[in-house]
Amino acid sequence: MDNAGMKKGIVLKDDWPGYSLDLFTYPEHYHEDIESVYIPHGIIMNRVERLAGYIMDDFADNNNIMVLCVLKGGYKFCADLVEFIKVLGRNSNKYLETRVEFIRLKSYLNDQSTEELQIIGSGDLSFLRGSVLIVEAIVDTGKTMKALLKHVETFEPKMVKVAGLLVKRVPNMAESLTDYVGFEIPNHFVVGYALDYNEYFRDLNHLCVISKTGKMKYKV
Ligand code: HPA
Ligand code: MG
């Protein structure tokens, strides 16, 4: 079966309001700070398991996956994805050796509109010569991802794939850069599942829409 369409993500329409907070549990300290549960943790987890399945199929011939996790927002997605890859390997007796490296990125445009990408705190990236899976929480215009891909290509990897938990529908969206998409969402600011607003909300499991009160309270 051709999975190409399914790898492109569950599409959340522009008018999706999210679920009422009363329907789920969440940390009490965020009681007034979130508007709705945009994507519940259980749905995220099952979607991540599904993506792990596609990845297993695509990397099977290479016997290993060199995972490049883009911090900080990607840490939960990456941890859960790698865990599911291990479980699926165990259950099918087709173990894939998995290694993980972590990077942080700062991107900015100079006055020539040339993208420059600063890679921070990277360990030894020589493992990028293998079969690489870039794991990123959000891909929107793709400017950052394009620059990162260019950098990874300099190591001449055997293959490079990109997993994005969320792809945002923005003008010139970069859907085609992302091989495995969890969810395609409107251009909303969401928090939770390691995505932050000024470092808050990373401890929230669901992906949520922040409330006006929350925006004010954690403003810097
Ligand atoms: N949430 C958190 N961080 C982000 C987002 C978002 O929606 N978009 C870009 N960085
Ligand atoms: Mg952030």
Asked whether the CA dihedral 171, 47, 164, 215 is positive or negative, the reply is positive
Report the distance separating Cα 161 and Cα 121, nearest Å. Answer: 22
Mean pLDDT value across residues 182-210? 96
**Cα 116 to ligand 2 centre (Å):** 19
Give the helix/strand (H/E) hosting 77: helix 75-92
* Residue 112: pLDDT over 70: no
pLDDT for the residue numbered 113: 45
Vertex 205: Cα angle to 203 and 207 (nearest 5): 110
pLDDT for the residue numbered 106: 74
| Bridge partner residues of 104 (DSSP) | 71, 120
More confident site: 110 or 12: 12
Evaluate: CB of 190 within 6 angstroms of ligand 1. yes
pLDDT for the residue numbered 118: 82
Asked if residue 2 lies in contact with residue 175, where contact means CB atoms within 8 angstroms, the answer is no
**Cα 215 to ligand 2 centre (Å):** 14
* Residue 169: pLDDT over 80: yes
* Residue 127: pLDDT over 90: no
Give the gyration radius of the chain's Cα atoms.
18
- Range in 75-84, 92-101, 106-115, 183-192 the model is least confident about: 106-115
Choosing from 71, 183, 190 the residue with most ligand 1 atoms within 8 A of its CB, the one to mutate for a pocket test is 190
Evaluate: CB of 95 within 6 angstroms of ligand 1. no
Q: Respond yes or no: is residue 124 known to be catalytic.
A: no
**Cα 191 to ligand 1 centre (Å):** 7
Report the distance separating Cα 86 and Cα 31, nearest Å. Answer: 35
* Residue 116: pLDDT over 80: no
